[in-house]
């Protein structure tokens, strides 16, 4: 009887709630009537944005904690750090320092977060140089509390949240979350296969990046973060690792968890939001959301039918994500120039583009050039000479600082100025992004033979442009088609109409990327290393513009009849269904590429070093007679500095011959004195050996075993005591 009474009371309460929410119910059911269903949406619709802005971060926290076994409090603290390290500092800079024009609250929040992400690590670096690093944390927390109080954000919180994220802003939140979940599904750097530990991080780059973050975690200054013995300063873009170290400090997680399971997923959020900001002013919300989905979701290349270089490049190169996001942020700032108050916008665009030199120098060189040229043209046309000098002066000073820093580094790439050298390499290589037409004769009208024979037979003045044109057509078929459709069918960047700032800047970026292939210095050992980012920028920009093109293609056929509209819709649907299968294969399977293979005992030794040795220890890891080295893997797993052994890989950046000679002598000598001198020269504290592949003839007198697993052993180097030390011990 009691249960029946409670059931009736619950039923009455639910009926009263539905009556209040809808205004009417179906007789005898307590359910909304058909006439009142339309009244539910107007009352619930304003709260969609509030629910989404709360639900999306929570779902991301739950996913990362459940999928990758990261503590949910650590992920939640990292998400909260986006407010303290991104939104608040960025808001102060753009509202009170630079006084940028006011946009919608949602766009202001996103742009503030991205601006803070780029500038807060620079501030942290400057504070460290000044020796007052202890004030940074309290300053950021105090700023995060003081700014809302000063701006009175705490008054009318519900109404402010509804205005902050309107229902029209909701789709980008869910699309960004979906893209992040898809590309972050497979992030674990190791797998156990057949008694071995297989490292599946692509090309070992993430091993190097995680090692650099580990150096920062040990307090090594950013400009001195090479994790190998020998070089003291590295000419590298390291601010992305400073940002990762800030996330580590905020989340409380260890270095590897922070890098792989927090920092790597967040890069897709940054790219998504930056792309949305770049497109929304020019094309509107819907087309901007579709553009984000196309840029990060249109793959269609697991079968090698097409090649989307952006996704591959962002996947295995962490700093590249900051270069792509920075390009879109610059586009967003430029697109606001037509709204008035152009001076702070151009200055901020130039500042962000040059700061990218410390995040991804390859991208920054062409983005900064395009931003400086655009700013110069706008300011000259307005005869604003003072701000022209200011913008170019800021750009010149920062570029000069980076050049001085790079020239003073002893670990840097050797560049050679050789116009068309990369084009020649691109033409003659079958392994750069996509193969050239080798044996097909599409240019038979120019003569007999294959395409390559025809082009190679042209005069030099015609040969190089022909090579460049064919390489571009072969490597960018879809982006070129998107660009032509936008220009011809959508009036994009037409001179006869009033061209918007976004159009001009987009054209400048594409032209700058193509000019990079021709004019940039090259690295002889790795020809594509310097100019390769041009591929990702072209793909990022034109695949983002695929969103407006698709929306236009879906809307336009309806003017030509139902048949044309049906055929167009079916074709586009087929393409995107096929792309869905391709995305599933690429994101969930093909990202698991083998980088290196370690035996279980050797991996256990590396884990022991990480758990049981001082953080400033120097490790000498196994080196086999075949030349195989696990230096990046050892540095990542142990989170310790290692002695350089991958001499062939890094010889293009640093003279590794003396180190390689010393190590060969250490493994070959039977003289303990010579072996000790080599160990002390590189300040080695622990030596890891695999007895199945190597021997240490002089090791017994110098090394003391501290951990053993299978055929792998960790030895501690016994330091030679001086007379004063022995006297002190006896006393």
Ranges under pLDDT 70 in the chain: 1-46, 194-195, 199-204, 300-308, 430-451, 489-491, 493-499, 556-561, 585-596, 623-631, 645-649, 691-701, 720-731
- What is the rounded distance in angstroms from the CA atom of residue 279 to the CA atom of residue 50? 23
Strands 596-599, 190-193: parallel, antiparallel or unpaired by DSSP? unpaired
CA-to-CA dists, residue 661 to 39, 635, 664, angstroms: 80, 21, 5
Report the pLDDT value the prediction gives residue 10, as an integer from 0 to 100: 45
CA distances from 682 to 215, 229, 644, 662 (A): 17, 7, 10, 10
371: closest CA among 332, 339, 320, 314? 332
Residues of 459-489 as b/e, b for ≥16 C-beta within 10 angstroms?
eeeebbebbbebbbebbbebbeebbebbeee
pLDDT of residue 5: 55
What radius of gyration do the chain's Cα atoms show?
29
Residue 620, beta-bridge partner list: 687
**Alpha-carbon gap, residue 653 to 235, rounded angstroms:** 9
Distance of CA 322 to the CA centre of its chain: 5
Distance CA 491, CA 500 (A): 11
Residue 540 near residue 326 (C-beta atoms within 8 A): no
Instruction: Give the pLDDT score at 243.
Output: 93
| pLDDT value, residue 195 | 65
Do residues 654 and 617 lie in contact, with contact meaning Cβ atoms separated by under 8 Å? no
Which ranges in 82-166 belong to alpha helices (H)? 88-92, 105-129, 136-151, 157-164
pLDDT for 187 equals 80
Q: What is the pLDDT of residue 115?
A: 94
Report how far residue 425's alpha carbon sits from residue 139's, in angstroms, rounded to the nearest whole number: 51
Task: Please give the model's pTM, rounded to 2 decimal places.
Answer: 0.86
User: What tens digit of pLDDT does each residue of 621-660 get?
Assistant: 776 544 445 667 788 888 888 887 555 567 777 777 788 8
């Amino acid at each position: 009887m009691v249960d029946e009474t409670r059931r009736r009371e619950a039923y009455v309460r639910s009926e009263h709630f539905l009556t209040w929410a809808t205004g009417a119910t179906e007789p005898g059911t307590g359910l909304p009537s058909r006439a009142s269903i339309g009244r539910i949406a107007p009352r619930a619709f304003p709260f969609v944005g509030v629910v989404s802005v709360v639900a999306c971060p929570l779902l991301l926290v739950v996913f990362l904690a459940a999928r990758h076994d990261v503590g949910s409090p650590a992920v939640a603290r990292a998400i909260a750090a986006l407010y303290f390290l991104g939104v608040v500092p960025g808001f102060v800079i753009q509202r009170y320092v630079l006084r940028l024009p006011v946009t919608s609250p949602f766009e202001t929040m996103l742009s503030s977060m991205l601006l803070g992400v780029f500038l807060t690590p620079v501030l942290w670096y400057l504070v460290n140089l000044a020796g007052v690093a202890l004030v940074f944390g309290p300053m950021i927390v105090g700023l995060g509390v003081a700014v809302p109080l000063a701006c009175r954000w705490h008054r009318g919180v519900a109404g402010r949240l509804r205005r902050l994220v309107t229902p029209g802003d909701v789709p980008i939140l869910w699309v960004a979350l979906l893209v992040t979940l898809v590309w972050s599904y497979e992030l674990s750097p190791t797998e156990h296969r057949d008694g071995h530990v297989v490292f599946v991080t692509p090309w070992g780059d993430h091993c190097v990046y995680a090692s650099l973050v580990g150096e920062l975690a040990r307090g090594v200054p950013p400009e001195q973060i090479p994790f190998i013995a020998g070089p003291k300063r590295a000419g590298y873009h390291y601010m992305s690792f400073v940002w990762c170290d800030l996330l580590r400090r905020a989340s409380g997680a260890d270095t590897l968890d922070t890098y792989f399971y927090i920092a790597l997923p967040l890069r897709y959020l940054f790219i998504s939001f930056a792309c949305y900001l770049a497109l929304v002013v020019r094309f509107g919300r819907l087309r901007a959301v579709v553009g984000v989905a196309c840029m990060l979701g249109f793959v269609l290349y697991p079968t090698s039918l097409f090649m989307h270089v952006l996704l591959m490049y962002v996947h295995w190169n962490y700093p590249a994500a900051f270069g792509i996001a920075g390009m879109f942020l610059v586009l967003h700032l430029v697109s606001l120039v037509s709204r008035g108050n152009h001076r702070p916008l151009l200055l901020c665009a130039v500042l962000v583009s040059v700061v990218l030199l410390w995040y991804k120098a390859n991208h920054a060189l062409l983005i900064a050039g395009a931003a400086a040229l655009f700013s110069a043209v706008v300011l000259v046309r307005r005869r604003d000479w003072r701000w022209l000098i200011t913008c170019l002066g800021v750009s010149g000073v920062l570029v000069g600082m980076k050049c001085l820093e790079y020239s003073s580094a002893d670990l840097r790439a050797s560049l050679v100025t050789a116009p068309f050298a990369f084009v020649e390499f691109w033409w003659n290589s079958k392994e750069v992004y996509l193969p050239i037409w080798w044996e097909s004769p599409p240019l038979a009208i120019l003569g007999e033979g294959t395409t390559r024979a025809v082009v190679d037979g042209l005069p030099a003045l015609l040969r190089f442009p022909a090579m460049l044109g064919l390489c571009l057509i072969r490597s960018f078929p879809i982006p070129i088609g998107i660009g032509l459709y936008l220009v011809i069918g959508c009036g994009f960047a037409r001179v006869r109409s009033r061209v918007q700032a976004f159009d001009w800047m987009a054209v400048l970026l594409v032209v700058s990327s193509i000019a990079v292939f021709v004019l940039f210095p090259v690295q002889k050992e790795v020809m594509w290393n310097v100019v390769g980012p041009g591929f990702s920028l072209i793909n990022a920009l034109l695949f983002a513009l695929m969103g407006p093109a698709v929306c236009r293609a879906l809307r336009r056929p309806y003017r030509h009849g139902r048949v044309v509209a049906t055929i167009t819709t079916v074709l586009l649907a087929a393409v995107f269904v096929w792309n869905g299968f391709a995305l599933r294969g690429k994101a969930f399977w093909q990202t698991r590429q083998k980088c290196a293979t370690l035996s279980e005992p050797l991996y256990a030794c590396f884990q022991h070093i990480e758990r049981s040795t001082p953080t400033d220890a120097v490790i000498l890891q196994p080196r086999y007679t075949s030349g195989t080295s696990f230096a990046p893997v050892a540095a990542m797993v142990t989170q310790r500095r290692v002695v350089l052994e991958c001499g062939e890989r890094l010889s293009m950046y640093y003279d590794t011959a003396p180190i390689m000679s010393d190590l060969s002598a250490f493994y070959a000598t039977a003289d303990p004195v010579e072996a000790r001198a080599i160990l002390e020269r590189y300040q080695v504290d622990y030596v890891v050996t695999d007895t199945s592949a190597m021997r240490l003839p002089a090791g017994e007198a110098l090394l003391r075993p501290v951990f053993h697993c299978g055929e792998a052993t960790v030895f501690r180097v016994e330091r030679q005591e001086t007379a004063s030390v022995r006297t002190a011990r006896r006393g």
